[in-house]
Chain A
Amino acid sequence: MKKRLILLAALALAVAGLGLGAIGRGILPVPEVHLAPQKVFSVGGFAVTNTLLSAWLTSLVIALLFGLGTRRMAVVPGRLQGFLEFFIETLYGFVRGIAGERYAKPFFPILATIFIFVAFNAWMALLPIYPNVGFMGEKDGQAYVATHLFRSAGTDINMPLALAIISFLFFEVWGFRAHKAGYLREFFRFGNPIQTFIGLLELISHFIRVISFTFRLFGNMLAGEIVLFMMTFLTIFITPIIFYGLEILVGGVQALVFMGLTLVFAVSAVASHGGHGESHAAAEPR
């Protein structure tokens, strides 16, 4: 009964907000959409943005969480150690399931860091300090947070781009480690025009991955932020909670997708690859 009431209220508020106009108008300032991050302060000419601050805060929280949780490792774990072990073991199991025992250990640190960094950045951004703490401005005679102190690092294209570059370097380096110069034969296939064309497409597709990685994460994180702003402005109560729940899920899914794709590309790079009449056995990791 309670659940139904909450759902009905959420629905009514959503309908009212979308159909009759924003309920938050006059109460909340009209949300602004910033594609680029906002500068909070400068250090020697370098602009420290709110997304960068957020990334540092997230990194600090992650480091503290794992540092405290693993400070005194015990055979019989406490709650935090048990949770962290469960978390890491689940991630490791996922990586091992796809990469196999041979590559799971060398692949794991980069992949797990990608997952943890992306997920925690997304989840941290749901904390109330993110939309509500910052530098005040005034618009139409109303005070509002003009520059947020923290903003999800995923909404700064530089972060997804940096991760995409790391991911790209990761699977390409592993491809070269596994097949050495033979890895290039995947892209440069001579003798047959069709094969040459396929090789060229393969080469382009590898670089396209950087772009797809970047914009997938950036788009999802930015869209999530905008949806939360808009739903809060439109309905103020109850309905945003549902979207907050959705964003928790989206953060985890995006982290998993980023890590999973990097893993699949890396496995594909180290695995035997043929296509132009020859195959190369995957080399032992060194």
Chain B
Amino acid sequence: MRAVPLLAEEAASGIGALGIDWTSLLVYLVNFAVLGAILYFFAYKRILGMLDARSSRIRESLEEAERARRESQEQREAMERSLREGREAGQQALAEAREAAERYREQQAEQARAEAAQLLERAREEIRQERDAAVEQVRSEFGALAVSAAERIIRRSLDADAHRDLIDEALAERDAGAGRN
């Protein structure tokens, strides 16, 4: 390959030797503008947009996580509260049941005591009636026996032996009567 001749400006001296060229300058400006536009639409906008989107997504996720944590905490608190209330209600019910049972037991004991006393009283009453009846019966039988004995005494001669025999006979009849009963 052959070299293309160098720029004319290179032969110049002073500031001209630097090669300042207005057309080149304009081309560089246009080049920069085009590059800037390309980068703006295909790089900055997309990348910064993505970074913004990602940061909002992360923020939303964090907020959502915080919300979920709060909800979970609230639910846990509610659950603990209901558990506590349930436990308290249970304890209260248990206490009430114990109290009712105690009351019932006392009632039953009282009732049993009253019934026992009633039974005892009735038994005593019956015993007393039985005794009274027995006494009455003995009394009436003894009276009849005495009357019968007296009748017999009066009918027989009133010697000592006969008198004793009469009494023994009367007593023997009474014992026989009692044994029958």
Interface residues of A (CB under 8 A from B): 34-41, 46-47, 49, 52, 55-56, 59, 62-63, 66-67, 69-70, 73, 75, 77, 84-85, 88-89, 92, 105, 108-110, 112-113, 116-117, 134-137, 146-147, 153, 156-159, 161-163, 165-166, 218
Contacts and interface: CB of A to CB of B under 8 A. Distances in A.
A166 B48 CA distance: 23
Contacts of A92: 48, 51
Contacts of B27: 46, 52
B175 interface: no
A135 B1 contact: yes
A67 B43 CA distance: 7
B18 interface: yes
Contacts of B10: 34-36, 38
A116 B47 CA distance: 15
B32 A38 contact: no
Contact of A158 (B21, B44, B46): B21
Nearest to A160: B28
Contacts of B57: 75
A116 B20 CA distance: 23
Interface string B32-66: 10111011101110111111011001000000000
Given A59-B31, A146-B3, 10 more contacts: A46-B27, A55-B28, A59-B35, A69-B43, A70-B43, A70-B46, A73-B46, A75-B53, A113-B39, A166-B32
Contacts of A88: 43-44, 47-48, 51
B32 A117 contact: yes
Given A63-B35, A147-B3, A49 B48 contact: no
A69 B50 CA distance: 13
Given A70-B46, A89-B51, A34 B25 contact: no
Contacts of A41: 4
Given A84-B43, A113-B32, A35 B19 contact: yes
Contacts of B32: 113, 117, 162-163, 166
Contacts of B29: 162, 165-166
Given A63-B42, A89-B51, A109 B24 contact: no
A62 B35 contact: yes
A146 B17 CA distance: 18
Contacts of A67: 38, 42
A55 B4 CA distance: 19
A117 B35 contact: yes
B44 A112 contact: yes
Contacts of B154: none
7 contacts: A35-B10, A38-B7, A59-B31, A92-B51, A136-B2, A156-B24, A157-B20
Nearest to A159: B28
Nearest to A92: B48
